[in-house]
Copies of this chain bind each other. A is one copy, B any other.
Amino acid sequence: MPETKASSPLRADARRNRDALLAAARDVFASEGLDAPLDAIAKEAGVGRATLYRRFPTRDTLIAAIFEDDFDALEAAASGAEDPSRALFAILDTAFEMQRHNLGFTELFTRRPPAEDVLLNIGQRFNEVVDPALAAAQDAGHVRPDITTAEIGTVMLMMGVATANMRLHEDGEARRQRTINLLLDALDPARAPRELDA
């Protein structure tokens, strides 16, 4: 993949193009779905087709780059938490906030999975970010001990679709907050599952 930030620092204009393409891709995927024409993304970014295809030869490399940036943001949120046992909540807060402007990805995990290597990368990076944060939260008793990293992913996916839905409602923001609280309640050990009550 040409998208390897580590290998060579991008020149300023290349970085601008990259950022513009990713911002445009988020917009276009959100409004038209993941099968939207790549030309629409180049147009919205204000760059030529050739630039888009040179930087991101396939749709999946573009998707992978968006996820790279998102995981960087989640990782920064985790590191920024004052108390490591609260890092998971910082990750979830950040993810839920990003979902407000990042609506095109539900398809990716339902009927339109990306190439297997892209999906594996996303899963691996997700685990790297969430595993230690979840373990710390569970050790501190902030999260039910039976919750898995995959289930944190499911919670994010579910909140993603709820967020996309709530944009269509006038009282959407209040409903979005309520739904976040409902999902956090489900993770709360003070409201332990039936099995643990017995």
Nearest chain B residue, comparing its CB with the CB of A191: B191
Complexed CA–CA distance, A151 and B182 (Å): 9
Q: For the complex, is A41 an interface residue (Cβ under 8 Å from B)?
A: no
A192 touches B191 (CB 8 A): yes
The quantity of this chain's copies bound in the complex is 2
Q: For the complex, is A130 an interface residue (Cβ under 8 Å from B)?
A: no
Interface size on A, residues (CB 8 A): 40
In-complex Cβ contact of A164 among B111, B155, B188 (8 A): B111
With A111-B164, A161-B158, A162-B154 as given contacts, are A185 and B175 in contact (CB-CB < 8 Å)?
no
Please list the residues of chain A having a beta carbon within 8 angstroms of any beta carbon in chain B: 30-31, 33, 103-104, 106-107, 109-111, 113, 150-151, 154-155, 157-162, 164-165, 168, 175, 178-179, 181-183, 185-188, 190-194, 197
